[in-house]
Amino acid sequence: MIRDRGDVRERIVSAAMKVFSRYGFFKAPVHLIAKEAGVSKGLVFWYFRSKQELVIEVAKRSLPLEIVDSCLESGLSGEKILECIGKGYLEKYRDPVQRNLLLHAMALETLYKEIAEEMNSLCEERIDKVAERVFGKPSIKGKVALRAFFGGLMCYTLRRPRDIDEEAFLKDLIDITVAGFRNGTAP
């Protein structure tokens, strides 16, 4: 069998995503992942020291950290960065596999410090950085607004409402975030 280096590992990760997304991290047996990847069970443990290592790798990939980071790195600001993040987010989690994995991964935060750290970094540093980029300077209200923005995205992903399409939703959400920040009673 001719396979690229790294190819197999990636195939295992992909298979794991499918299987984890369907059964959850803990009810998914490794042998199903191997089967889905078309390799032997033993080989999974050649590439990953343990199931937990695979779980954590998959969980990390299913968090939206990279989206936020790439938008931050692109140097955007104001509504543009919200748009960047929103689009990336909605696109990533349009895939039901990723959507489910996100839910499962968030629950892992309780159990594995690696995931907890990613969530920390996402929910505290990153979110505040974005707030500053959007509203110009750090402020409590900006942080709250950003949490509303992020939460709104998550909420939409959790249950895609039938009567609101992605584009319209994102436009409104950005609108609310920005206008809410600017025109509140306590500017």
Partner DNA sequence: CATGAATGAGCCTTCATTCAT
Partner DNA sequence: AATGAATGAAGGCTCATTCAT
Q: Quick one: what does residue 73 bind among DNA, its own copies, none, with the CB cut-off 5 to 8 Å set by partner type?
A: none
94 φ, ψ (degrees, to nearest 5):
-65, -35
Contact present, 131 and 143 (Cβ < 8 Å): yes
- Does residue 40 belong to the site contacting DNA (CB under 7 A)? yes
| Residue number with CB closer to DNA (11 or 143) | 11
What burial class does residue 42 get, using C-beta atoms within 10 Å of its C-beta: 0-12 exposed, 13-18 middle, 19+ buried?
A: exposed
Angle between helices 65-73 and 79-92 (to 10 degrees): 150
| Residue number with CB closer to DNA (32 or 170) | 32
x/- mask, its own copies, residues 4-43, rule CB under 8 A, reads: -----------------xxxx-xx----------------
- Does residue 41 belong to the site contacting DNA (CB under 7 A)? yes
3-state secondary structure of 156: helix
Q: Quick one: what does residue 51 bind among its own copies, DNA, none, with the CB cut-off 5 to 8 Å set by partner type?
A: DNA
Contact present, 173 and 152 (Cβ < 8 Å): yes
Question: Rounded to the nearest whole angstrom, what is the least distance from the CB of residue 178 to its own copies in the complex?
Answer: 8
Residues 6+ apart with CB under 8 A from 21: 96, 97, 98, 100, 101, 104
Site for DNA in 13-32 (CB under 7 A): 27-31
| Residue number with CB closer to DNA (1 or 140) | 1
Residues 6+ apart with CB under 8 A from 173: 86, 149, 152, 153, 156
Contact residues toward its own copies (CB under 8 A) are 21-24, 26-27, 100, 103-104, 106-107, 109-111, 119-120, 123-124, 127, 140-141, 143-145, 147-156, 158-159, 161, 163-164, 168-169, 171-173, 175-186
